[in-house]
Homo-oligomer: A and B are copies of this chain.
Amino acid sequence: MAESWSFLDHPETNFRPLVVIELAKGTKKETIEWFTKRIVDKKANGGAQLLVKPLVGENKDENIYLVGASYLRLLLGAETVGLVKECSDNSMRTFTYRSRKTFKDFADDNHSFLTMAECQYIIKHELENLRAKDEKMIPGYPQAKLYPGKSIVRRLLTSGILVQIFPLHDKEELKKLRHSWYGQVKIGYQPLDEIRSYFGETIALYFGFLEYFTFALIPMAVIGIPYYVFAWEDYDKYVMFAAFNLLWSTVILEVWKRICAINTYHWGTLLMKRQFEEPRPGFHGVLGINPVTGREEPMYSSIKRQIRIYLVSLPFVCLCLYISMHVMMIYFDLEQWALDYHEENGSNFSSLMLFVPSVIYAVVIEIMNRIYRYAAEFLTSWENHRLESSYQNHLILKVLVFNFLNCFASLFYIAFVLFDMKLLRQSLATLLITSQILNQFAESLLPYWLQKRHKKRMKKLMCSLKTESDLSLVEQVNLEKDMGTYLGTFDDYLELFLQFGYVSIFSCVYPLAAVFAVLNNITEIYSDALKMCRVYQRPFAEPTANIGVWQLAFETMSVISVVTNCILIGMSPQVNALFPDSKTDLVLTVALVEHLLLAMKFIMAFVIPDKPKDIQVKLAKLEFESLEALKQQ
Q: Name the B residues within 8 Å of A582 (CB-CB).
A: 583
The digit string for A357-383, where 1 denotes a CB below 8 A from any CB of B, is 000000000000000000000000000
Q: Name the B residues within 8 Å of A24 (CB-CB).
A: none
Interface contact B595-A276, CB-CB below 8 Å: no
Choice from B82, B96, B630 contacting A627 with Cβ under 8 Å: B82
| Closest B residue to A620 using CB positions | B292
A25 at the binding interface (Cβ < 8 Å)? no
The digit string for A562-575, where 1 denotes a CB below 8 A from any CB of B, is 01000000000000
A292-B620, A583-B584 are known contacts. Are A302 and B627 too (CB-CB below 8 A)? Answer: no
In the assembled complex, the Cα of A213 lies from the Cα of B586 at a distance in Å of 40
Interface residues of A in 611-633 (CB under 8 A from B): 613, 617, 620-621, 623-624, 627, 630-631, 633
A584-B584, A595-B563 are known contacts. Are A617 and B292 too (CB-CB below 8 A)? Answer: yes
In the assembled complex, the Cα of A304 lies from the Cα of B337 at a distance in Å of 67
In the assembled complex, the Cα of A633 lies from the Cα of B96 at a distance in Å of 10
Q: Name the B residues within 8 Å of A79 (CB-CB).
A: 631
Q: Name the B residues within 8 Å of A275 (CB-CB).
A: 627
Interface of A, helix, strand, loop or mixed by DSSP:
helix
Interface contact A276-B591, CB-CB below 8 Å: no
A440 at the binding interface (Cβ < 8 Å)? no
The digit string for A56-86, where 1 denotes a CB below 8 A from any CB of B, is 0000000000000000000000011010000
The digit string for A275-287, where 1 denotes a CB below 8 A from any CB of B, is 1100000000000
Q: How many copies does the complex hold?
A: 2
Q: Name the B residues within 8 Å of A292 (CB-CB).
A: 617, 620-621, 624
| Closest B residue to A622 using CB positions | B292
Q: Name the B residues within 8 Å of A633 (CB-CB).
A: 96
Q: Name the B residues within 8 Å of A623 (CB-CB).
A: 273, 276
A291 at the binding interface (Cβ < 8 Å)? yes
Q: Name the B residues within 8 Å of A630 (CB-CB).
A: 94
In the assembled complex, the Cα of A57 lies from the Cα of B568 at a distance in Å of 79
A584-B587, A617-B292 are known contacts. Are A80 and B624 too (CB-CB below 8 A)? Answer: no
The digit string for A541-565, where 1 denotes a CB below 8 A from any CB of B, is 0000000000000000000000100
Q: Name the B residues within 8 Å of A588 (CB-CB).
A: 587
A20 to B: closest C-beta gap in Å = 28
Given A293-B621, A582-B583, A584-B587, 19 further pairs, Cβ under 8 A: A80-B631, A82-B627, A96-B633, A273-B627, A275-B627, A276-B623, A276-B624, A291-B621, A292-B617, A292-B620, A292-B621, A292-B624, A302-B613, A563-B595, A583-B584, A584-B586, A587-B588, A587-B591, A591-B591
